[in-house]
Amino acid sequence: MGTLVEEILSRRVGRPVHAGDTVIAEVDAVMAHDVTGPLAIDAFRSLEMPIWNAARTIFSFDHVFPSNSVAASELHRRIREFAAEYGIRNLFAEGICHLVMVERGFVRPGGVVVGADSHSTTYGALGCFATGMGSTDIGVTMATGRSWFRVPETLRIEVTGDLARGVQAKDLALHVIRQLGAEGANYLAVEWGGPTVTAMGLSERLTLSNLSVDFGAKCGLCEVDAKTWDYLHLPDGGDLRPSQASYSGVLRVDVSELEPQVSAPPAIENVRPLSELAGIRLDEVFIGSCANGRIEDMAIVAGMLEGRQVNPATRTIIIPGTRTAYVQALERGYIDTFVRAGAVVMAAGCGPCLGRQHGTLGPGERALSTSMRNYPGRMGSPDAEIYLANPAVAAASALAGVIADPREEN
């Protein structure tokens, strides 16, 4: 009994725990990627302990894959050597770690997963307590299979109303961040619920949980229902919901009148309604990332780009988040649509989101991205500007070459 996070952690440690308690809990899986992995390996090695469980230790090559520099190749080599030494076979180079973790079945409702990446909160959409940590914590979990957690208080976000056409989970998350600020849920669990969230598909719920960390949350949880099990291709294991929960706060949001939202530089909390920013000229549009790189996002974009041409003055980069999404996009003809529309389609991975590979922004350039980070310097030059929006806004903007409203497209 309690909030979702209290339910999950109580089951895990075998006794009722409440917000404010500190627990040491076993995890189901521990993940690091090609940039955070080597530091985690260093921490692990300094412990001089055996590995906890090679089959539940995952490395993802995604932030800079394929490597574009000698330094990155060196990091990759260190991970591969470490994996060979400890018998770790879960080396994935097939897309963004968070999407791969879900596809590969490491995330289960009611489970506990930690990752050396802040957006590990994404798995909360499946009713899994999941949080991002630094490499030292992850190295310790690789050796012990455990981590310590202060059971967080919960902010319940109760959502009602139907989302209008062209308005998505991303807009709901940005709308909440606008109200609460970038620290609004610092140290809290966020619980996304209410009829609107229940009606959403898992792809949209994953977006909500993903962006939870961007207003400070330790985890972003959704209730477990039949759709959750279906998404994971698992037999229905029953619902998981909060019961008689006591919340530190409840935010009620009615999305009926919500229009698409855009986060303007220099930080995610600087959210404005799309109408206020429409018309701003763009040098780049990036569609992808762990927030909006799923096949459902690709479908929205393909529907809008079909038979059209993106604005030649704006480079449009589209990245299906995983190999699975890429193959589905191929089979459904989306890749054909993207390429014919003049977009550049690149290998599954993080791509321009963190400015380390292709699509790097120069000084004074402006980009619109479906990712969730727009700090100065995030995608390249600190003097570039990054706007964040949903995939439909991104597709409309790619066609127009300026920030544009997808609801005005036919």
Partner 1 sequence: MARVFRFGDGISTDAIMPGRYNLTTDPAALAKACFIENRPDFHETVRPGDVIVAGNNFGCGSSREHAPLSIKASGVSAVVARSFARIFYRNAVNLGLPVIRCADLYDAVQDGDEVVVDTEHGTIVAGGRTFQGEAPSAVARRISEAGSLVELIKNHGWAAIEEVV
Q: At what angle do helices 169-180 and 202-212 cross, to 10 degrees?
A: 20
Give the phi and the psi of residue 118 in degrees, each rounded to 5.
Answer: -60, -30
Question: Rule CB under 6 A: is residue 386 a binding residue for ligand SF4?
Answer: no
Of the residues 148, 160, 199, 362, which one makes contact with partner 1 according to CB under 8 A: 148
34 near ligand SF4 (CB under 6 A): no
Residue nearer to partner 1 on the CB measure, 68 or 160: 68
Total of residues contacting partner 1 (CB under 8 A): 54
Backbone angles phi, psi at 99, to 5 degrees: -75, -35
Continuous H helices in 14-134: 37-47, 70-86, 97-103
Which long-range contacts (C-beta less than 8 Å, at least 24 apart) are formed by 72-77? 72/34, 75/34, 75/35, 75/37, 75/38, 76/34
Residue 65 vs 334, nearer CB to ligand SF4: 65
Partner in contact with 84, chosen from partner 1, ligand SF4, none, beta carbon below 5 to 8 Å by kind:
none
Which does residue 43 bind out of ligand SF4, partner 1, none, counting CB within 5 to 8 angstroms by kind?
A: partner 1
Looking up tokens 């920013």 gives 277
Site string for partner 1, 365-404 (x = CB under 8 A): --------x-xxxx---x----------------------
Is residue 23 close enough to count as binding partner 1 by CB under 8 A?
yes
- Which residues between 304 and 343 bind partner 1 (CB under 8 A)? none
CA–CA separation, 140 vs 137, rounded Å? Answer: 5
Rounded CA-CA distance 28/57 in Å is 9
Is residue 349 within the footprint of partner 1 (CB under 8 A)?
no
Note whether 209 binds partner 1 by CB under 8 A. no
216: contact with partner 1 by CB under 8 A: yes
Q: Does 298 contact ligand SF4 by CB under 6 A? A: no
Which residues are registered as beta bridge partners of 93? none
Cβ-proximal residues to 161 (8 Å cutoff; 6+ apart), any chain? 196, 254, 255, 256, 257, 258
**Residue 136 binds to partner 1 (criterion: CB under 8 A):** yes
For ligand SF4, the binding residue among 141, 228, 289, 292 (CB under 6 A) is: 289
Q: How far apart are the first and last CA of the chain?
A: 48
User: Is residue 323 involved in binding ligand SF4 (CB under 6 A)?
Assistant: no
96 binds, among ligand SF4, partner 1, none (CB under 5 to 8 A by kind): ligand SF4
**231: closest CA among 324, 120, 346, 349?**
324
Please say whether the dihedral angle defined by the alpha carbons of residues 225, 228, 230 and 233, taken in this order, is positive or negative: negative
Q: Which residues contact 391 (CB under 8 A, 6 or more apart)?
A: 168, 170, 287, 292, 297, 300, 301, 370
| Residue 84 is a binding residue for partner 1 (CB under 8 A) | no
Q: Which is nearer to partner 1, 196 or 357 (CB)?
A: 357
Q: Which residues bind partner 1 (CB under 8 A)?
A: 21-24, 35-36, 38-39, 42-43, 46-49, 63-64, 69, 71-72, 74-75, 116-118, 132-137, 139-140, 143-144, 146, 148, 150, 182-183, 186-187, 216, 218, 267, 354-356, 360, 373, 375-378, 382
Q: Which residues bind ligand SF4 (CB under 6 A)?
A: 63, 96, 98, 117, 119, 289-290, 350, 353-354, 371
